[in-house]
Structure 1
């Protein structure tokens, strides 16, 4: 396997993001569904959010016993938001997780680190609509381009960062419980964020 390749694992098609000697990092090519980041109002971090619980219990159980044996439990760092310094929370022990700002901006979809660590004066809410790496971050749900959650906090801990349908990073975040997005998915008639789970599997 090599980075960028598409493979089938469980019931989904996955894109290979990273290949190491004993393991491979995968993310679903398309979103697997829509889901709130959290199930109640108020401040929350990735470690304590309901979406993390869903991925590591209900979604995890959709894999066969054989496939579950290949999924590696990892410790994820959860840095503060680079622009707003909102709290990323404690490290989390995950089987299945969402990517962070740093992972989508600097590591796995091309290097846009300049935009993350040196934002321009007019970069208050979005990265850059002309960022050449936006196209690498686009994904679909039900055949339509849609927005998907990251695990990082937005401008405060009532919001989480997301990738908009055009691939631009909404670093200010969408509401974890009540959405600021008025866009409705044409099939589901739901404005909830999409989920692109990531996981490490044994080679």
Structure 2
């Protein structure tokens, strides 16, 4: 009787594991999913809208997500001084207020803490130590890796981002967006131009007020 009970328990556990595995939906690279919510249509009275994310990478049951649109107009740091990602106001805000207001507690539990490598490809000043972040920005190298074609780096702002005076191309409607990579000058951060070229000198001062952001994060697929 005990042997039969043990076999039944083992079978039940096997079936439960199989059912759980079947229930975990693993997205594919290039998929677009919704997760979290943020003001986007600039109609404050109707509440926040679901955020759309592009799947950049999938590792086992974890996925790397990049916001489809440039969702807010932000500065990297309020003063034009030597700056890097690890001590920036933007990093503090993204992993604090933005994280808390954009995602529910259950959604926050799905967002993984990631070791972020911070390098200076220009060799002119340090880029700071690696950081541990839940929300971050792509590096210059990651942009080139995931979007090798210049046209694919072109991105568009939400109505909310436009209401905060981001620079918008009058013809295409595209906008500039930050990376986290230190630029060629000590007060410079690399960013995407309106046409998808990467600017790393003279155009992306850390206190530049009209650039936008595209958040990045890794999530646990079985929990979202």
Fold conserved between structures, TM > 0.5: yes
Is the Cα–Cα contact under 8 Å of residues 84 and 154 in structure 1 kept in the other structure?
Answer: no
CA offsets, 1:74-100, max 9 Å, x none? 11010112x454322110110100000
Is the Cα–Cα contact under 8 Å of residues 176 and 194 in structure 2 kept in the other structure?
Answer: yes
Larger gyration radius, structure 1 or structure 2: 2
Is the Cα–Cα contact under 8 Å of residues 96 and 197 in structure 1 kept in the other structure?
Answer: yes
**Structure 1: runs of 5+ lacking an equivalent:** 111-132, 180-190
**TM-score, normalising length: structure 1:** 0.78
Partner of 2:190: 161
Query: Residue 37 of structure 1: SS of its match in structure 2?
Result: coil
Query: Residue 43 of structure 1: SS of its match in structure 2?
Result: coil
Between structures 1 and 2, the one with greater helix share: 2
Within the alignment, does 1:2 sit opposite 2:32 as a pair?
no
CA offsets, 1:18-70, max 9 Å, x none? 00103100000001100000022311110000000110001101201110000
**TM-score, normalising length: structure 2:** 0.71
The runs of 4+ residues in structure 1 deviating greater than 3 Å are 83-86
The equivalences for 1:71-82 within 5 A come to 71-81=111-121
**Structure 2: runs of 5+ lacking an equivalent:** 1-26, 38-50, 160-172
